[in-house]
Every structure is written in C-alpha cells, then in structure tokens.
Structure 1
Amino acid sequence: MIRKKILLLLAMSMVVIVGCSEDYLDTVPTDSISEEAALSSTENMDLILNGLHRMMYGQNVLEGATSSRSGESYFIPSFDAIGGNAIHSSPGNGWMTSDLKWTSHTNPSSTTNFNLWFQRYHFVETANTIINKVAESDFTETEDLNKILGQSYAYRAWAYLRLVTSFSRGYIYGTPSSDPGVPVLTEAGAPYEGGPRGTVEQVYVQMESDINAAVSYLQNASAADNKSNISLNAAYGIKARIALSKGDWATAAESAALARDGYPLLSESDWLSGFNSYDLSEVIWGGQVIDTETNYFQSYFYFIAFAFNGSLNRSNPKLISKELYDRIPDTDYRNQAWLPLAPNTNSAASNDQGGSYETDPNYDNEEDFWAAWSEIIEKYGATTAHNTHPYMNVKFQQKNPGSIDPDDVIYMRSAEMVLIEAEAKAMLNDVAGAQDALDVLGSARDSAFDKTAFTDQASLMDEIKWQRRVELWGEGFSYHDNLRWDEGIDQTNSGASFTLYGDGFIQDKPSVNDDWIHKIPQSEIDANPYMTDADQN
C-alpha cells in the first residue's frame, strides 16, 4: 500500500541475511535471496518474524518511509501526547509539539499518519505472506510451525487494531456496520494495490478471526523464545484489547484474566525501578532492545524519560496532570514516580514560571531552589544540563541514566489486564466482580485501598479511569481510552500551557468531534485505485 509498496522480498532478505548461518550465506548470494527461500522453512520464517519483533521498537528501514516516528518507540508516547496524559513542560527541541497541538494526526500529509499507516500495513503484508505460504504448502504441523502461525495471526490482529482504532470512528460510540474502517487485506504479493475501506465492523470481524486463530495455534505451540515474541498470554492480551475497544465486556474480562496468568504484579521496589527492562514480572510482551539496533534519539526513552541525554529531555521533562497526581493518596507508593515540588529551572518553561526561585511559587530563596535541583540531578543520574519542573516524571528511568544507551520497550503488562478485567466487569454491572478485580491492583499499590468504597458502576468507573491514567501513565493508552469512554480533553487545571498546546488544550468528546480520527495519508489516497478524496476522514 502507499505508492510503491516495498517489496516484501527486500524486507525478508535483510532479515535472512542477518540471521542465517555462514553456510547459507556461502551458497546463496546476498542480493538474490528469493521469497521462496525465505519462506522455505520454519527457521527462515522465524527470522522474518524476528524482523517484525525488531520493527516494533526500531528505526524504520522500510523503503518509502522515514526513520522518524518509528515503531512503538514513537507511537506509544505519541498517543499519550495526543491523548493529553503525558504533559510537556516546554517546546523542547520541537519533537511532538505537533502532536500536542493536534496539527499532526489531523494533517493527511504528516509523517505521523504516514508511518503509522505504512508500518502497520507492513506488519499485515508480512503476516499475510507467512499465513498464505503455509496454507498453500505441505509443511508438517509442528509446535514450531504453530508458533510461527500463531504470531503471524496475532501480529495481523494487532496491526488492524492499531489501524482501525486510529483511522476510524470508535466502535462503541459510532455505527460500526456503516462507518468506514480501513482496507482489509489478507492476500500477499504484487501488485500491492491496496483495497477499499471496509466497514469498522468488517475490520473487527477480521481481527477477531485472526486473534482466535492465533490463540488456537499458540495453545499447541512451542514456548516463546523471549518476551519480544508474541506468546499465548500476549495473544490473550491482544484479544482482551480488541474486545474492550468494541464493548464486548465478557470476552474482555475473560481474556484479560487469561493474559495475566503467571505474570504477578510488581513489588514496590520493582515498580519504582524505572520500567526499563522487559524482565520485570508484569511484562507479558515487550521489546528487548539490541544495543546495535537502538533508536538513539528516536527511542522510547528519548521521548519519555527524564534523564535521557537528549535535547528534548534536558529542556522538557514530561509531567503528570496536577489534578491526576493530587488525587494519589499518601499511602500509594506510586506518588514517588512524579515530583510535584521539583524546582522549575527552565527559563523557557511554557508556564512562564521557570528559571529562578523568584518565578517559581514553590520556593522563596535561591539556596533551596538550586539545592532541590541538585538533589534530583544526583538521585536520578541526569546531567547538569537537565532542567527540572514541578510534577515531572521519574517513573521511567534508564539503566544507565544520563546516557543515550538503549532500554527495553514494554508493550503489555499484567496491570493493564487487571484494569481491563475491572472495567469490563463494571460495565457488565458486576459490582462485586469489578471490586475484586480492582482490589488486585489497588491493594498492591496502596496500603489503605478499600474496594468497598466503590459501590456502583459510576464510582467504579471513575476509580478505574483514574487508576488507568496513573498506573499506565506514559505507556500510550490515553488516546484510545478517551475514544472508548467518549471523553474529551480539558487541560485547564492540569498544568499544561495553552500557548504550547493550542488546539490540543481543549477538545470536545469523540462522538461529536471527528478531529479525534487520524487522517488517512494523502499519498495512500493518491496511489490506491480503490480510494478517492471522498474516503478521507
């Protein structure tokens, strides 16, 4: 899709060249590896999947796309920037300001929309190729083959979920039987012409079929090599997300419980350790970033972590909403993940209170102002060029703070699954069930948590929404949460700056505001013979 679709052959050749044995490279020239050879064995198909695992976090190497705004490393923090949950304290070096201002996803010519569409359809195309090759061949069914097929179906379901929930009206508040979705493509190979927009309902039918197939294959598959692979638990997690996004509450609750089985919630020390390793007990699915293939200044931690040594971070620590943070009880250890009294040392801070104790209302003398800054710099390993700001985030910490070294990217945690289960049961009006699910997380984080304080659906949902905003802060959920809840954005009391945020400061709810929907890349409409300008959102 999109203009000259990258040849799958090229993408697979790159993966095969990297991963094959010396004997294979000796017998097959690196410029003539055929698609047939790349799909000739489970070992080679596994290498193709390894390419997708790396593309989840790595810089975009696809022909016709750009390395900026690559993979989940960019789109996780981008969705929280658009959704208003991860607040920027200043323009920094300009990265993501268009997301904050809502001038990127509403622009059909933006790189953000292009890469989100183009990369996700590459996942679809690669999955199609593997699925169809196995279907037309005489491979013997083995646990390893099932693992490959299971992951391929899961990746296709995941990609379509990212696409339809970004480029279409929400399932719950929309009319899915007639609302335009995204093209549903299941064939592989040239001429890569794309296809017409299916309805939202048709996309969901495909996603549900795919994730059910993924679960079936992975139930009879060999174990995942590591957490970068899509395991059976991760497939259940994707299934839970799909069901939640359409209001299939029973399936969401059941699948979320299955997804988190065997992934215990983090202890206090682990929760506060920085979310920089996919080895944490809660992590169901995540990218183990390989040193030689890191994103450097396009990495996840570049966009979200305080101490990462990049210009976006040094001048622009990311903030939690004042309203959100001020509701965290003293008995909840998550209050240590943000610093409400950090001095505002940035003279370019967007709230116009930075640079001096004289402008920062939390300090009345220079000595205390700079002593507080020095303590934060030392404790969290930032450089002396880093600025601090009230309500700044220290939830995300590098293994090697103050550097640009790579850290893992987390895609799915069991805490999210607990909250999906709680929300789904609340929406089913199963008050006791929702209380019990919510208590699993609440009691783990807050020593004084009392599930009986939430006695009806409304109070339960208010608490669940707050818990998601705090627990999953910076993990990319707020944009799609707002779509599901049909809630707008109002940053009036959050600490965000109207000057910095512009149109993103206040937005009406999605059901009456189509600006929530990403524009389809204009280059796709221009090149796809099945689309016209009338198909634009």
Structure 2
Amino acid sequence: MKSNYIKQIFFAISLLVLSSCSDDFLDKKPTEYVTYEDITKTTDDLMTLLNGIHRSLYIRYESNQNENGLGGMMQQVDIAGDDVVFPATNGWFLQVYNWNGVANENAQDVRFPYRTYYRIIRNANTILGAVDTTIGPDADKKVLKGQALLYRAFCHYQLVQLFGKRYVNGVDNSQLGVPLVLVVGNEGFARSTVEQVYTQINKDLDEANTLLVGYTKPNNSHLGLSVAQGLKARVALTQGNWAIAADYAAKAKTGIALMNAEEYVKGFNDYAGKEWMWGSHINEVQTDYFGNFGAYMSRNYNSTVIRTCPKAINSKLYNLIPTTDVRSKLFDKTGVHASLNLPSSFTKYPYTSQKFLSVSTGDSRCDVPYMRVAEMYLIEAEAKARLGQADAAAVLFALVKTRDTGYTLSTKTGQALVDEIWFQRRIELWGEGFRFYDLKRTNSPLDRSGANHNSTITNNVINVPATDKRWQWLIPRAEINANPLVKQNEL
C-alpha cells in the first residue's frame, strides 16, 4: 500500500512538472520532492514521463475551459473550415469561426495551439535527451525513443500547417515555417523554413518507424508502429509525396478492421473501438467536466454550449450524402434527434450532429479520436489517384462499401476521382480535426456559401480565397516579445 502511494505521488509530481509552462517547464532545478535526475534515471522513470505526455493530450493548459488539449485544437481547425456550423452565437471558438482570432496576435486562439504543441515537444525532448544514458532494457529505450519522436514530429507538423505557408511539392519551400526545437532549454530559436521543418519531421518519423517494429502497445493512448506509419502517410500526403503516402497508408491499415454499420453509429466515444489507431481515453477520475471534448462536440451532454449551440454539418454537404449511407445517420436534418430523447431545454437546430456522444447528459466524457484506419484508406486512395494507379478506386470502394450499401465501384479517373475521394473524406472525418488543413494543403478557398452558415455569426466570413494571408495564423505576440528571433507573419 505504501509503495503504491509513493508511486501515485511520484506520478502526480511528474504530471505537475510536465504540465507546467514557460521557463518552469520541466525545470531541472531540484523541487521539494524530486530532482530532474531523479525522474530521468531509469527507463521506468521515463515511462512515467511518457505516460504524462499521454495524459497531457486531454488536460486544460489554459484558463479557458474549451482549451483542453488536442481535442480543443481539433475543434479549432474544423471550426475554421466550412463543414462545421455554428447554428447560434457562442463564445467558445467564435473568433476562430469568424477568423478574427487567427488574425489577432494577442488572441488566446493562437496562443493556445502554439503553447500547447511546444509544451508537448519539450516533454518529448526531455525523454529524448535522457533515454540513451538512462538505466534500463534496450527494448524499453526503443519504445520510449520511438514514441517521443512521434510526439515531436506530430507537434511540429501541426504547428507548421497552422503558422507556416502551405508546402508545395517540387519547389524550394524557403517560406518561414516554425521554430524547430530539438533540445530542452530556454534559449530562443528563429523560425526554420517550411522545408527544414518537414525534413526534421520526416527524420523523426523514419527513426520512429524503425524503433517501434515489434512493439505491442497496451492500449490506443500509446503510439505504436501503425501510428508511426499513419503519421508518415499523413505528412507525405501534405507534401504531395504520393508514392510514400500510398505505401505507408497501406502499411498502417494492415490488419486493422473497419467498423460495420451498427458499430459506426454508437457514438465515436470508445478509443478501444476496432477502427481506432490512436486516441485518448478520458477516465472518470481525470475528467475535466465542462472542458472535455464531449462537452463541445457531443449532442447529449447537458451543458450551456450543447443546449444552445450544438455543432451542425454543412447542409450542402449533408444533402449530398446518400440515404443508404450510414454516415447520414450521424446527423439529423430535423434537429430533433429522437433516439437521444433530448430534454426540452435543448434548442433544436437542423443538421446537428450526434456523431460524438458523451457518456450521459450528466457526464461529458467522450474518448477523443486522433487516428482511425478509415483515414488510411482515404490517404492511400487519394495518393494512388494522383499517381494515376488503376487500383485507386478499388481502395476507396473497400472503405465506402462498409458505409454505404448502395455504393458501387467508381469508374472515375484523374481529378474527378480525386474529387470523389475528397467528398468521402469530408463526411468520413467530419469533426476529427482535418478540414482546415485539407483546404490549405489542396490550395482550396474557404466556401461556406449556399449552406446553413449564418453570415451574422461568421461576421460575413463566407468565402476566403486560397491566397488570403489569414491561412497563416499569427504567431502569438507574447512569444515574439519573449523571443525576438521569431518573425511575425504578415499582419
């Protein structure tokens, strides 16, 4: 009992250290209880730190309740797109929805992702800086190093997509990206070029793909080989490296089954689901109540934001989904959601989503999906279509036939097939944090016209050309003040 209590204290201290910010972040100075050396001495110690990173993906870093880890940032990048709709005025991420927050260097909306991703990077770098000399089995060191590299690559990848200009295949991507931070320390770093950032991302991913061979992860909050392959496929798709994207997506989906129609409509709230590759499980003792993903993206949690401003799908997109497609059942054109028996206090709006469901009206917990195998089918299909490979449509068919009983093998080729894949991607990955990135990587404009977006709520942000400077979010002014080496994007 005493041993378990000591372990719990140690774990709590590690989380507190991991969750601190700015110059206090993983401070190497002794605290009242432990020193930096104490928590990096053995592979068991570093495993505790790694578990702290897993946990940090769904904790509230900032004071605002909606700024809860990766789930909050997933909401941001979908809300900034065209497929998630606010049917009513709501204070949470409203400035992202109308694009004011992303163009304000003092806004919490840009500070939240910038600080959060760099916090995770710093924690990953702590493991990477200590793992080679720590005491423990080599097998454990490989697992620690592999997962830490994936976290570092993933965070740099998310950051460069938000704050840098889009990657263009075949040219010198010398445009400013984000600072590459590869060591723990308080020194400032200038912004690397977009090319340099992607070079490092791929270096980390390639090493992780080697280190994690043979590793069996205990659950889907850990990052195994399939996740490493999946992230490599994502990055390659963004860079337009089609052959690499197709190859790694095919590897990543090997041996992972797709959900059937009955499983698909159960609420997207169980990270142990057979289609999930990576996600966070929100257990009862670590819940953040009004800060959880389910407190914003579910339809059934009894909170002000869910009652008054439930998330809806772009009506123009929804009306293109065949009635034979199970994904149409994730949204209610009437807004009544009869199967949920919503209380009368819940305002009803058309086209609202019930894709994500919380545990109950009084419990906002909803596991958060970061990667599902369906995405890998879509990546492989798009990459092969771009290459003109004959089996691209067959890869798409293998996915969509499990969703739509009326779907037939597409006879389209070229851009027409790519367009069909993009449509399937929009309805398959709705609400999972991809839309803004997809618009940016494909050099597509924002187009909310002809749908259920309210121009008053969006502040008339209905159409935004692909050349608009706001596709590059502003670097937080606090970061520039602290590190003059960082140059701001165009104001």
| TM-score of the aligned structures, taking structure 2 as reference length | 0.91
- In the other structure, the counterpart of 2:37 is 36
- Correspondent of 2:444 among 470, 484, 487: 487
> Gapped runs of 5+ residues in structure 2?
1-9, 19-29
TM-superposed deviation, 1:536: 5.7
1:368 corresponds to: none
Counterpart pick for 2:130 among 130, 133, 137: 133
Amino acid at match of 2:350: P
Alignment of 1:29-428 (within 5 A): 31-60=32-61, 68-92=66-90, 94-135=91-132, 137=133, 139=135, 141-172=137-168, 176-189=172-185, 192-221=186-215, 223-342=216-335, 373=336, 376=337, 379-400=339-360, 402-428=361-387
Contact persistence 2:169–2:241 (CA under 8 A): no
Q: 3-state SS of the aligned residue for 2:102?
A: coil
Secondary structure, aligned partner of 1:444 = coil
| Match status 1:513 vs 2:472 | no
Distance in 1, matches of 2:149 and 2:211, equals 9
Distance in 1, matches of 2:367 and 2:170, equals 36
Aligned with 1:412: secondary structure? strand
Match of 1:365 in 2: none
AA of the residue aligned to 1:446: D
Higher deviation after alignment, 316-325 or 157-166: 316-325
Question: Residues 203 and 491 of structure 1: is their aligned pair in 2 closer, same or farther, counting only changes over 3 Å?
Answer: same
Matched letter for residue 107 of structure 2:
S
Match of 2:410 in 1: 452
Cα distance in 1 for partners of 2:140, 2:302 equals 41
Match of 1:477 in 2: 434
Query: What amino acid does structure 2 have at the position aligned with 1:501?
Result: T
Indicate the SS of the match to 1:187.
Answer: coil
SS of 1:285 mapped into structure 2 = strand
1:16 offset after TM fit, Å?
8.2
8 Å CA contact 1:173, 1:486 repeated in 2: no
Deviations, residues 197-227 of structure 1 (Å, cap 9, x unaligned): 1000000010000011111111154x21211
- Kindly state the Cα deviation for residue 398 of structure 1 after the two structures are TM-superposed: 2.2
Rate the CA distance shift 1:174–1:112 in 2: closer, same or farther, 3 A: farther
Judged with a 3 Å threshold, the aligned counterparts in structure 2 of structure 1 residues 176 and 127 are, in CA distance, closer, same or farther, namely farther
- Quick check: 1:12–1:48 contact (8 Å CA) kept in 2? no
Query: Residue 35 of structure 1: SS of its match in structure 2?
Result: coil
The superposition leaves residues 393-440 of structure 1 with CA deviations (integer Å, 9 ceiling, x where unpaired) of 11112232x22331211110000111011111111121x221111011
Residues 1:50 and 1:496: Cα distance change in structure 2 (over 3 Å): same
SS at match of 1:327: coil
State the 1:11 CA deviation. 10
Equivalence for 1:24 = none
Contact 2:229–2:252 under 8 Å retained in 1: yes
Q: Distance in 1 between matches of 2:301 and 2:479?
A: 35
1:15 maps to 2:15: yes
* Separation of aligned partners in 1, 2:158 and 2:194: 13
Residue 138 of structure 1 deviates from its aligned partner by: 5.9
- Secondary structure class of the residue paired with 2:461: helix
- Deviations 1:320-346 (CA, angstroms, capped at 9, x unpaired): 11211111112212111111133xxxx
Q: In the TM superposition, what is the alpha-carbon distance from 1:13 to its structure 2 partner?
A: 3.7
* Mapped partners of 2:163, 2:259: distance in 1: 34
Tell me if structure 2 keeps the 8 A contact 1:302–1:313: yes
SS at match of 1:422: helix
Supply the distance in 2 between the matched residues of 1:532 and 1:427 (Cα, whole angstroms): 35
* TM-score (norm: length of structure 1): 0.84
- Report the residue type matching 1:206 in the other structure: Q
Tell me the equivalent position of 1:370. Answer: none
Q: Where does residue 6 of structure 2 map in the other structure?
A: none
Q: Counterpart in 2 of 1:440? A: 398
Deviations 1:364-387 (A, max 9, x none): xxxxxxxxx4xx35x214322111
Report the residue type matching 1:469 in the other structure. R
| Unmatched 5+ stretches in structure 1 | 1-9, 19-28, 343-372
* Amino acid in structure 2 at the alignment position of 1:477: F
Letter in 2 for 1:108: E
Instruction: Give aligned-pair identity as a percent.
Output: 31
- Cα distance change on mapping 1:17 and 1:463 into 2, 3 Å: closer
Give the corresponding residue for 2:483: 528
For residues 127-160 of structure 1, what are the alpha-carbon distances to aligned partners after superposition, in whole Å with 9 as ceiling and x for unaligned? 112112123x264552222111110000000010
Q: Are residues 186 and 399 of structure 1, via their aligned partners in 2, closer, same or farther at CA, if it must alter by over 3 Å?
A: same
Instruction: Specify the SS of the correspondent of 1:308.
Output: coil
**Residue 7 (structure 1) aligns with:** none
Given that residues 308 and 382 in structure 1 are in contact (C-alpha distance below 8 angstroms), is that contact kept between their aligned partners in structure 2?
Answer: no
Count of residues in Structure 1 that have an aligned counterpart in Structure 2: 471
Shift of 1:238: 0.9
Q: Kindly provide the amino acid, as one letter, of the partner of residue 342 in structure 2.
A: A
Q: For the residues of structure 1 that align with 2:45 and 2:344, how far apart are their CA atoms?
A: 48
* Deviation at residue 529 of structure 1 after TM alignment: 3.6
Whole-angstrom CA distance in 1 between matches of 2:154 and 2:405: 36
Cα distance in 2 for residues equivalent to 1:500 and 1:298:
23
Contact 2:393-2:411 within 8 A present in 1 as well: no
Larger radius of gyration: 1
For 1:126 and 1:417, locate their aligned partners in 2 and report how far apart those are by CA, in whole Å. Answer: 28
The one-letter amino acid paired with 1:145 is K
CA deviation string 1:157-184 (max 9, x = no partner): 0010111011001102796531001111
- Describe the shift of the 1:130–1:315 C-alpha distance in structure 2 as closer, same or farther (beyond 3 A): same
- The code of the aligned residue for 1:414 comes to V
The question of whether the paired residues in 2 share the 8 Å contact of 1:16 and 1:44 is answered with: no
CA distance in 1, matches of 2:92, 2:484: 34
Match of 2:5 in 1: none
